[in-house]
Amino acid sequence: MSDEADRVRDEFLAESQEIVESLSRDLLLLDHGQKHGRADPDLVNSVFRGVHTLKGIAGMFGYRELSETAHVLEDLLDHLRLGRVALAQSSLDVLFEGVEVLQRLLGAIRGESHEVDLASFRRGASGLVGQSAAPAADPLAAYDLDPSMLGVLTEYEEHRLRTNAEQRVPLYRVRVRFALSSIDTDLDALKARLKPAAEILTYLPSVEGSGDDAIELEVLLASSTPLAELRVLVGDSPVEPIPMREGPSRTMPPPPLGASPTGTIAGSIAPVLSRAPVSDEGRELVPSRDAGAEAIAVRAVAKTVRVDIAKLDHLMNVIGELGIVRSAVGRVLDRLGARADLRPISSELHRIHRSFERHLEALQDGVLDVRMVPLGQTFDRLARAVRQVAREHDKEVRLVVNGGDTEIDKLIVEELIDPMLHLIRNAVGHGIESREQRARMGKDPTGIIALNAYQKGNHVVIEVEDDGAGIDPQRVLARAVERHLVDLGAARELDDQAIKQLVFLPGFSTADQVTDLSGRGVGLDVVRTNIGRLGGVIDLHSTTGIGTKFTLTLPITLAILSALVMRVGSHTFAIPLTVVQEALFLEPRSIRVVDGRELITLRGQSLPVVRLTELFRLGEPTRQRGYVVVTSLGQRRLGIVVDALEGQQDIVTKPLGPSLQNVRGFAGATDLGDQRVVLVLDAPALLDEVLSSDPRVSAGAA
């Protein structure tokens, strides 16, 4: 495939992915509204338009299977928006299945391996369309409506008018006059005021009240709000209730079942109703749409540029190399400053060097800012998974989100999807009890899964918490012994917290049967491994009968790091400053040994320490005075004993290559700019290795 063809395909995939994610958010809004009896009909119309757009661009680029699938989904949505198919959980299930099929087809175009069951989706969609309701008596016959106005309504507008008439929702006319110079902002303001209280069915230009500098519109509303309140919302414009007819009248024929939307002058100016934003702070996750979002999106086309993340990676590498150059120049300047005859030149170079540092930091911050994305995008994807898994298990589950606006590196987000999805599936499948069990325990029948995200220093903390059954230590221990992950003698010495950590061992599972979601022994150990690869750690806290919380601590970015350079004997290492809490002098006599592990006391608390000379077998450790570097990730702390500290430096970590990529303890290597290449320590792996390595468990696992 040529470079141009690759570029075009990538553009298509990026555009299509945005459409699919938007469809997913709108469907979640529909699902939420349907469950609470207040589904927004305009959302169905919005999903219909999105699928129609996707069908068009897929056909234009020659992706026939994707286009045909979108066509099937579009047909179902057309029946839903025109009221021929009822909006219920069964129809929403098919819509969610359709979005999942579209997602998998896009993955297949990217070259990913996905199983796509098109036949099942098409059968479900066809079954719903085949159940279309027959047209009933015309409810508009009872209203005094001008037939000429009805004649220019789009099919969708006429359907919404009939639906409100059937439900006996009062209808109103509003005549509003706008200056042509400010019609956009004035109309948006009117829609925003009316949206909470009324549904705008249509608005049509009135020739009578229009002029060269103004236009008059006749707005048709449906609202159960008292007339006095509507008049306050509308302002100075008159609000006239549409009266019921007193005698026989001409009936507008109902739309034929096979009809398609017709484009009219009314359709060309029909409003796209904005929905009030829903804050995600402490609320059920319902993706929000800001007022005027469609207009903002149109304007944003000219102000945004889609950039391949690989290009940003290249820029960050270049910035990292410039950081190394900056450090090298700084060392040269230090040497120049020591010579009295060169001090004038050294002073001028120092000034230039400081200016270079400022501009380099601004450039680095700018590129990092471009790479950052809010976690809310990831949480939107997880919301669809929560609904799907809950339906599969016949459970009621509500997803609550806090901190969706917390930002993290785009590369980390992409790698975070699978671990988060696994934790969500675990929470629904194993954590949340059935309705009957929750009722017996006095709990709300609807279980809650909470996603909390917040920034903590140079890290982002993500919590996945449920109010389910919690982890039973005795059941975990029995299953670990049964699977020979720990021997029975060692098991008696483990406390409850240590037992719960056994769930992270490879091959552990509490499921009695193998299903699509569990029972294969491929579980939380993979989650811990994947989080570790991102430079993070995962902690577990659980209380039986109350719930479980997994806490993920991740770096904000992996692109460029400030590191502490340390020396152990003749060897030099670097460790990211993001995990360094402090560094202090270490007196050999301050170390004590408890249960075979060295500890020191730091501000009244015990701190486990490890000597790199022993851990990496670099020779006999010296018992002279050295330094302890206190590292911290999440709630774990570890002191690393070294001989000397050489200072702080920005580094770019390079991978070790395929032959060494599985060596634990090292994240890669870096060039310090003085012709020295040093190894970069993998702090999460070291903390796991030292703090999680209980000899009693390891013996059983071996």
Task: Read off the CATH number of the domain in which 118 is found.
Answer: 1.20.120.160
Of 555, 589, 610, the position where a domain reaches its end is 555
105 and 127 fall within a common domain: yes
339 and 384 fall within a common domain: no
Of 78, 108, 133, the position where a domain reaches its end is 133
383 and 464 fall within a common domain: yes
> Is 183 domain-assigned?
yes
34 and 126 fall within a common domain: yes
Task: Using alpha carbons, select from 245, 240, 40 the residue that is nearest to residue 138.
Answer: 245
CATH number at residue 148: 3.30.70.260
438 and 549 fall within a common domain: yes
Q: Which residues contact 58 (CB under 8 A, 6 or more apart)?
A: 16, 64, 66, 67, 70
What pLDDT does 346 receive? 85
pLDDT tens digit sequence for 491-523: 677 777 778 888 887 777 655 544 444 433 347
DSSP E strands: which ranges in 504-625? 537-543, 547-555, 561-568, 571-576, 580-586, 592-594, 597-602, 605-611
**What is the C-alpha to C-alpha distance for residues 102 and 114, in angstroms, rounded to an integer?**
11
DSSP state of 244: B
> Is 297 domain-assigned?
no
258-262, 411-415, 637-641, 650-654: which has the highest mean pLDDT? 637-641
> Is 505 domain-assigned?
yes
pLDDT tens digit sequence for 350-404: 889 889 989 988 888 888 888 888 888 788 888 888 888 888 888 889 899 899 8
506 and 576 fall within a common domain: no
> Is 299 domain-assigned?
no
* pTM tops 0.85: no
387 and 513 fall within a common domain: yes
Task: Decide if pLDDT at 652 tops 80.
Answer: no
Task: Decide if pLDDT at 325 tops 50.
Answer: yes
Of 373, 406, 429, the position where a domain reaches its end is 373
352 and 384 fall within a common domain: no
Task: Using alpha carbons, select from 672, 613, 668, 673 the residue that is nearest to residue 640.
Answer: 613
Mean pLDDT of the chain: 78
> Is 275 domain-assigned?
no
648 and 673 fall within a common domain: yes
103 and 166 fall within a common domain: no
The mean-pLDDT minimum among 24-38, 43-57, 519-533, 663-677 falls in 519-533
CATH number at residue 434: 3.30.565.10
DSSP E strands: which ranges in 375-431? 397-402, 407-409
> Is 184 domain-assigned?
yes
What pLDDT does 566 receive? 92
49 pLDDT tier (thresholds 50, 70, 90): confident
Count of domains observed in the chain:
5
244 against 35, higher pLDDT? 35
632 and 691 fall within a common domain: yes
What pLDDT does 210 receive? 66
**CA dihedral (496, 501, 503, 508) positive or negative:** negative
> Is 302 domain-assigned?
no
Dig out the tokens for 305 from the structure.
Answer: 């540029």
**What is the C-alpha to C-alpha distance for residues 23 and 46, in angstroms, rounded to an integer?**
8
Q: Domain limits at 686?
A: 561-701
384 and 492 fall within a common domain: yes
> Is 635 domain-assigned?
yes
CATH number at residue 642: 2.40.50.180
209 against 697, higher pLDDT? 209
